[in-house]
A and B are shown apart, each in its own frame.
Chain A
Amino acid sequence: MSNTHWLYRKENHRKLWFGGGILLLLTVLAQWVFEIHGQYEFEAWLGFFGVFGFVSCVLMVLFAKLLGLLIKRKDNYYHD
């Protein structure tokens, strides 16, 4: 079956990445307009939560990947 939906067309992938990039940039720059007044000083650093979220996710994925080497089994493990 051919991929007719715009989401699956190759030429749109670059546009999606570009759009996403703009969106990320805007959420960081929005800090100039909407300041983050938190409990801690570092919350106001430009893009702090973006970097923190990204790094946390990378660490979680890597940890899950390593743990997966240890605990992943075929999905009929209990029923073979």
Chain B
Amino acid sequence: MIEAFPPGLIMVFGAFLLPVLRGGVRTVWLLGLPLLALYLVWQVPDGVVATVSFLDYRLEPLRGDRLSRLFATIFGLMAFVGGIYAYRQARLLELCAAMIYAGAAIGATMAGDLISLFVCWELMALGSTLVIWSVGKDKAYGAGMRYLLIHLLGGVVLMAGIAAYVNATGSVAFNAIDTSAPGAWLMLVGFLINAGAPPLSAWIADAYPEASPSGTVFLSAFTTKTAVYVLMRGFPGTEILIFIGLAMIFYGIIYALLENDVRRILAYSIVNQVGFMVTGIGIGTELAINGAAAHAFAGVIYTSLLMMSAGAVLYRTGRRKCSELGGLLQGMPFTTACGVIGALAISAFPLSSGFISKLMTKQAAADEHLLLIWLLLQAASAGVFLSVGIKFPWFVFFEKNSGLRPPEAPLNMRVAMGLFASLCIFLGVAPGFLYAFLPFAVDYVPYTGGHVVMQLQLLLFSGLAFFVLLPLMKRTLTISLDLDWFYRRFAPALVRLCFRLSTPIDRALRRGVVERLSRLIQSLHTWCGPQGVVGRAWATGPMVVVVLLLLSGTLAFYFGGT
């Protein structure tokens, strides 16, 4: 039974047509696919609208409700605006992979069962890896391979969880998951790996910055936000998520403070933003879930806007380190303006999309009387402004005059940035628009005098701290070791050490065995060789005697026995 065409599927199949199309037709198809998917998303009514029988299970690859539509909408929008940003500069492979990736993300948000979800989940991993590999450089290949391995690991853990869960409950339906059910924790771990939760968070900052300028934009949007969606549907109110979310927030802030590479700073900011969402999901009240959902929607827009402005800088200057940039305001004023709007939105400045979403999560913590968590979220709000909100625009567009005067970003990039920058402001100015699409009815009022003053104090004094502590934040040509050090350096070193230690033992064992074998062969040769007692040719006389003796013995034995 299929009552509506799956919107994700049309993007996945449509992507395979891109290589056979040329010129303007290809561009129209590339930009038309997400728009068509968006149209189809909004044609899906509430409830399950497609079922397929698979083995003994009833799959529901297409299910509509407020939550799935919200995420599918932002993914479709992202694919469209990302397509505008990418279509003139990106390689064909990247464009195809990005559309498959986006289609799979939409498919995951509309999947009503765990098996359909898993298929989309793995397709996303493949699509995103191809986005990274499409750069065609060794560094990108290595980062892409590490990225793929982490995601395949996450996939295996998720599949194991799904198998155990389905076996125990007999149902493949994807709804809120009882954490006491077998396999539930494995599924949670599988989801959290894609969200970038510690200890496996380093893949975001490792892989995303190695993609092309547009590739990083696509990557920043789908994987982590799909993980937010599945956590929101599967594990709302799971307390441990509060602490995991907080760990992600502060990990993201501290590493962004230490980082010199612009796109790695932004990659760490993705982790801290997702941390806010995961914390909200852990709190689990209607306000918190609404806050996390609104934050995810707004987050896709401002994170990709930031990545777009950083990508435009990389495209025009070929540089990606803070220490090599600065003063680009003079050559790229439009990109600067868009980067600043993205930075204000991620910092939740009043009149930006971040303000109307992030404040809901903080309010939810206060409403539940979680004083310590509320204080940490407030500190984190200040920290995000410090580590990304000012740091990124300051070191790239302002600060010292680096002498660089690159031309402004190409027109298609400017259009994409302009669209998302406008949305950041529109959503912030008219909060009712986004609130109307959230999973639960909203009675939260973001713009009260108290809220605005509170947020302005937090952010502006954080800005003061930035400039007062500027000498401590001097950029250095360094990276900061993350937990990926364990599989990039420690594990290979451990293997090498094991080889070094085992080589003498191995050598001694081999020598011993070889010596024994040689002796055995030697003695066999002595006895059975051409000159050996057994093997050598005997003269006829002695042979007759031996045969006679043998026959006599046989006769004696036979008659003696009877």
Mark A residues whose CB is within 8 Å of B. Answer: 1, 3, 5, 7-8, 20, 23-24, 27-28, 30-31, 33-40, 43, 47-54, 56-58, 60-65, 67-68, 71-75, 77-79
CA distance A8 to B388 in the complex (A): 22
Indicate whether A73 sits within 8 Å of B465 (C-beta atoms), given known contacts A36-B453, A53-B382.
Answer: no
What band does the interface of chain B fall in when counting residues whose beta carbon is under 8 Å from A?
Answer: 35 or more
Contact between A39 and B457 (Cβ–Cβ < 8 Å)? no
Contact between B379 and A52 (Cβ–Cβ < 8 Å)? yes
Contacts of A43 in B (CB 8 A): 454
CA distance A64 to B465 in the complex (A): 14
Contact between A23 and B460 (Cβ–Cβ < 8 Å)? yes
Contact between A36 and B466 (Cβ–Cβ < 8 Å)? no
Interface membership of chain B positions 246-271, coded 1 if the CB is closer than 8 angstroms to chain A and 0 otherwise = 00001001100110110000000000
Contact between B330 and A60 (Cβ–Cβ < 8 Å)? no
> Does B378 sit at the interface, judged by CB under 8 A?
yes
Contact between B379 and A56 (Cβ–Cβ < 8 Å)? yes
Indicate whether A74 sits within 8 Å of B478 (C-beta atoms), given known contacts A5-B330, A61-B473.
Answer: yes
* Interface SS, A side: helix
CA distance A44 to B356 in the complex (A): 21
Q: How many A-B residue pairs have CB under 8 A?
A: 155
B140 CB → nearest A CB, Å: 12
Closest 8 CB pairs of A and B: A34-B449, A57-B465, A56-B379, A53-B382, A49-B457, A53-B458, A39-B366, A50-B457
Contact between B453 and A64 (Cβ–Cβ < 8 Å)? no
CA distance A39 to B448 in the complex (A): 15
Query: Closest chain B residue to A40 by CB distance?
Result: B371
Mark B residues whose CB is within 8 Å of A. Answer: 139, 250, 253-254, 257-258, 260-261, 321, 327, 329-330, 366-367, 369, 371, 374-375, 378-379, 381-383, 386-387, 398, 401, 403, 405, 448-450, 452-467, 469, 472-473, 476-482, 488-489
CA distance A41 to B448 in the complex (A): 18
Of the listed residues B387, B460, B461, the one surrounded by the most CB atoms of chain A closer than 10 A to its CB is: B461
B143 CB → nearest A CB, Å: 10
Query: Closest chain B residue to A7 by CB distance?
Result: B398
Contacts of A79 in B (CB 8 A): 139
Indicate whether A33 sits within 8 Å of B479 (C-beta atoms), given known contacts A51-B461, A60-B383, A63-B254.
Answer: no
A51 CB → nearest B CB, Å: 7
Contact between A77 and B479 (Cβ–Cβ < 8 Å)? yes
Indicate whether A24 sits within 8 Å of B258 (C-beta atoms), given known contacts A40-B371, A58-B469.
Answer: no
| B464 contact from A5, A24, A61, A65, Cβ within 8 A | A24
A-B contacts, 19 listed (Cβ < 8 Å): A7-B329, A27-B456, A39-B374, A49-B458, A52-B382, A54-B462, A54-B465, A56-B462, A57-B461, A57-B466, A58-B469, A60-B250, A60-B253, A73-B481, A74-B478, A75-B261, A77-B481, A78-B489, A79-B139
Contacts of B454 in A (CB 8 A): 36, 38, 43, 49
Contact between B258 and A72 (Cβ–Cβ < 8 Å)? yes
Contact between A60 and B481 (Cβ–Cβ < 8 Å)? no
Query: Closest chain A residue to B458 by CB distance?
Result: A53
Contacts of A27 in B (CB 8 A): 453, 456-457, 460
| A64 contact from B254, B374, B476, Cβ within 8 A | B254
CA distance A68 to B40 in the complex (A): 49
CA distance A70 to B254 in the complex (A): 13
Contacts of B477 in A (CB 8 A): 74-75
Contacts of B481 in A (CB 8 A): 71-73, 77
Contacts of B469 in A (CB 8 A): 57-58, 61
Contact between B476 and A57 (Cβ–Cβ < 8 Å)? no
A17 CB → nearest B CB, Å: 8
Of the listed residues A38, A57, A62, A77, the one surrounded by the most CB atoms of chain B closer than 10 A to its CB is: A57
Contacts of B466 in A (CB 8 A): 57
Contact between B476 and A72 (Cβ–Cβ < 8 Å)? yes
Contact between A78 and B488 (Cβ–Cβ < 8 Å)? yes
CA distance A39 to B371 in the complex (A): 9
Contact between A72 and B480 (Cβ–Cβ < 8 Å)? yes
Contact between A52 and B253 (Cβ–Cβ < 8 Å)? no
Query: Closest chain A residue to B381 by CB distance?
Result: A53
Contact between B465 and A47 (Cβ–Cβ < 8 Å)? no
Contact between B461 and A24 (Cβ–Cβ < 8 Å)? yes
CA distance A28 to B403 in the complex (A): 38
Contacts of A5 in B (CB 8 A): 327, 329-330, 401
Q: Kindly list 16 other residue pairs between chains A and B, CB separation below 8 angstroms, not including A5-B327, A28-B457.
A: A33-B449, A38-B366, A38-B454, A39-B374, A40-B366, A50-B460, A51-B461, A57-B461, A58-B465, A58-B469, A60-B379, A60-B387, A64-B258, A67-B480, A68-B478, A72-B479
